[in-house]
A and B are shown apart, each in its own frame.
Chain A
Amino acid sequence: SNVSLCVQSEPASLPAVDISTKTNGPKQDSLFDEDTEDLFAEATEEVSLDSPERDVLLSEGPSPAITPITPPISVITPRIGHAHDDMFTHSSFDEIEEEEGGDSFDIHISVSDPEKVGESWNNLERSGTSMSLFRQKDFSVKRRFSDFLGLHSKLASKYLHIGYIVPPAPEKSIVGMTKVKVGKEDQSSNEFVEKRRSALERYLMRTVKHPILLKDPDVLQFLESSELPRAVNTQALSSAGILRMVNKAADAVNKMTIKMNESDAWFEEKQQHFENLDAQLRKLHASVESLVCHRKELSVNTAQFAKSAAMLGNSEDHTALSRALSQLAEVEEKIDQLHQDQANADFYLFSELLGDYVRLITAVKGVFDQRMKTWQKWQDSQMLLQKKREAEAKLQFANKPDKLQQTKDEIKELEGKVQQGERDFEQISKTIRKEVSRFERERVKDFKMIIVKYLESLVQTQQQLIKYWEAFLPEAKAIS
């Protein structure tokens, strides 16, 4: 479905985005004036062939022309001979975050109902922002559902393995991961349309709220470009695909021969914490789903009672009583509407919030696993280096100068890899700490905001009820 994104911002004097196939994003000058380094200029390195991410994300189909689905990049690309491999050292990202102060977060995105364009449905997105990151103040674009999945896939492939909690893709089937039986969803039903629309909106907002993701060229392009090439093979791009990737990492962790010696108690504690939180949130989600179910039932029952009251009123001889009963029927119909509104509030506010967080926690657990993988990689390099050193020692006494030299060269390379591995590990650990802290802050904000909305709806419902009862009371009293 096409989604229109409208992003409002100051007209900035940024030249048109130039994206070449070589880069993972626009060139330095165009978008990152304030940065001294272009983060992505040289992100075209091949991924090591044993990276499982590649299998999952890249196995199907060609990449779109404009923004290639690049292989997941290492944080730091090992290139022999380069003295300054520190393109993506932690300092670069620190700089980005320091920049946040200059341009305060101000962006509003709304996703409208879908419209059919040819064979597929498109949502209209309207975005409003004053951030200088964008070319315009207000703009809107049309996007298909597969475009969203495509965006998520790109972000996941770029950021998950370096420790960033990438917001999970909007679910293709909106049952979520909590295995609640909702029944077969009618894709054209109003309810399904609204659920999806709301999910797309929340997904985008969550993505742009992330200071790093907001500045990602794929995100900006998604929000601003009038045309996006069609993303293919949405099955690979769906959150199920990402889930597979995450699961593979988890499997890898389980198969680790050397148990990771967690010297950092923080990580151990946090992992346990997220396990607990996951269980609690699922329970809460199930609880709310049950509540939503009952509310809908109440709406149905109220409507039926209203009908029966109307029939009773019609068959009543006594005029005033008959009128009162008819009015009772009307009041009950109005109350039915209130119940429906309340059921929607229960669902769209709480149920979806909890569902989102259950899905988010899966992403969180994923980055923890990625960290373990990074550690594993580092350990593997170290072991390999150790072996090579032993081999070198042996070759010292054999008369094979060529082989010795080759081994020495390999050792040099491996030393670089070991250093890199250690840096990667430290980087991802640092990133995760920041991300978790951010997650916890956002969580509080999210919940508070939703709760305030919910309470406002509760108050409003009661005030409506008061109006209805106050109107009915004189009718009841006037019966005789």
Chain B
Amino acid sequence: MMEEVKGASSFLSVQVHNIKVTEVLQDGDSLTFIIVSQKMSGTGEFHVDRTYEDFEWLQQHLFSQEDVPGIQGVIFPPLPARLQVNASSKTLRHLGFLGLGEWQPYCKALETFLRQVAAHSILSKNRAVEIFLTSSDPPGRQKVKKNIFNRLSQAVEEMRKEGHKDVDDFFQTKRDHNFLLTGYTKMAAEKFLDVVLTEQKIAVACGHFSTALHLCMEQGENPEKQDFSQVCVKLSEVFNSIKKSMTSTAMNDMNTLGLGLDLETRYQEAEKEMLFRRTCKLVELQNATKNAEKAKPVKKAVMEEAKKATETEFRQICEVAKKEIIQLESKHVETLQQALVQWCEKQLLTAKESAEVYSQHLQTFKRMQ
């Protein structure tokens, strides 16, 4: 997450800020995403189609750059979890906001991932990024060797390391803060998701009511019957409007603040993982130091070498980490601000439109008296 170079990355032949996931095609159970990026030279576009496995391939390549100094200090742009076709609502739930709508939030999240990767000064250097974005052939599907960059290991031992006291105040503070923030952000995202799901339920209920009203139209010529039918039809229209308004409100929630909270949550997790990697390296260093001190003269030199190597690695990680953290913090403010402003603007617009529509309905009914 180094400087986001707007538009240009010296390692890629595409413009970074307008990479788009334009479409998703479904073939049975598999999904294919169409990714469009503008050529740096300004002479056209790249159109590539990628599956989720291709995204994972890219991610693996980024994780496994062991020769890049301080790579473990990078806060990796989080890749959304796999989207399953025909999944039950329970399985979709783990995707949170990304499981809603007709895959648009999900595509947006993939898009954000690609833009963040392409804008990262360390990560964008990796050939895999260029290949992913520009190669018309699918990138290699071979499995890349495993590494420790995946989900935090569940081993109890590993978990204990998470609480390991730090030697550096800056990092201790960051770890503590990250712990709090991750919990609260996740909670806020979940609660907001509940709000959106209920809004959708209300929209559906209004639709049902509207339809049921339409069925109340009565045959007959007497004026009272016609009057009542009129009333039912008009009321049906009112509830249709309410449905549209609620649907709009839910969409606004989803596409702005929802996505924002979702991204924040995943980034907090990514930061947490980075901090953990650093802590693990710290533990490793402290062990190496102890071993070097305690080593018998025969082994001492080797131990010292090992300790020095680890020291260097640790230092590099800390350097990268510090920059990443500061970058993330300003990004975090930007993300939330953008989400809040867009959300507010969209809801304001929807409220104004709804007020107008309801007023018109009100006038219609008043004239009917």
Contact = CB atoms under 8 A, between A and B. Distances in A.
Given A315-B181, A448-B369, A473 B345 contact: yes
A477 to B, nearest CB: 6
B176 to A, nearest CB: 10
Contacts of A63: none
A268 to B, nearest CB: 14
A305 B212 contact: no
Given A452-B365, A479-B333, A301 B195 contact: yes
Contacts of A311: 184, 187-188
Contacts of A6: none
Contacts of A308: 184, 187-188, 190-192
B337 A476 contact: yes
Interface size class of B (residues with CB under 8 A): 35 or more
Given A284-B213, A476-B340, A480-B333, A294 B224 contact: no
Contacts of B238: 451, 454-455
B337 A480 contact: yes
B159 interface: no
Contacts of B341: 473, 476-477
Interface stretch (B135-143, B200-208, B290-298): B200-208
Q: Which of B234, B334, B351 has the most CB of A within 10 A?
A: B351
Interface in B314-366: 329, 333-334, 336-337, 340-341, 343-345, 347-348, 351-352, 354-355, 358-359, 361-362, 365-366
B155 interface: no
Interface in A1-36: none
B188 A309 contact: yes
Nearest to B185: A312
A305 B192 contact: yes
**Residues of B contacting A: mostly:** helix
B5 interface: no
Given A328-B340, A469-B348, A455 B365 contact: yes
Interface stretch (A142-150, A189-197, A385-393, A459-467): A459-467
A459 B359 contact: yes
Interface stretch (A128-136, A399-407, A439-447): A439-447
A287 B361 contact: no
Contacts of A466: 348, 351-352, 355
B302 interface: no
B180 interface: yes
Interface size class of A (residues with CB under 8 A): 35 or more
Interface in A397-455: 437, 440-441, 443-444, 447-448, 451-452, 454-455
Contacts of B201: 294, 297
Interface in A303-323: 304-305, 307-309, 311-312, 315-318, 321
Interface of A: 273, 277, 280, 283-284, 287-288, 290-291, 294-295, 297-298, 301-302, 304-305, 307-309, 311-312, 315-318, 321, 324-325, 328, 437, 440-441, 443-444, 447-448, 451-452, 454-456, 458-459, 462-463, 465-466, 469-470, 472-473, 476-477, 479-480
Interface of B: 177, 180-181, 184-185, 187-188, 190-192, 194-195, 198-199, 201-202, 205-206, 208-209, 212-213, 215-216, 218, 222, 224-225, 227-228, 231, 234-235, 238, 242, 329, 333-334, 336-337, 340-341, 343-345, 347-348, 351-352, 354-355, 358-359, 361-362, 365-366, 368-369
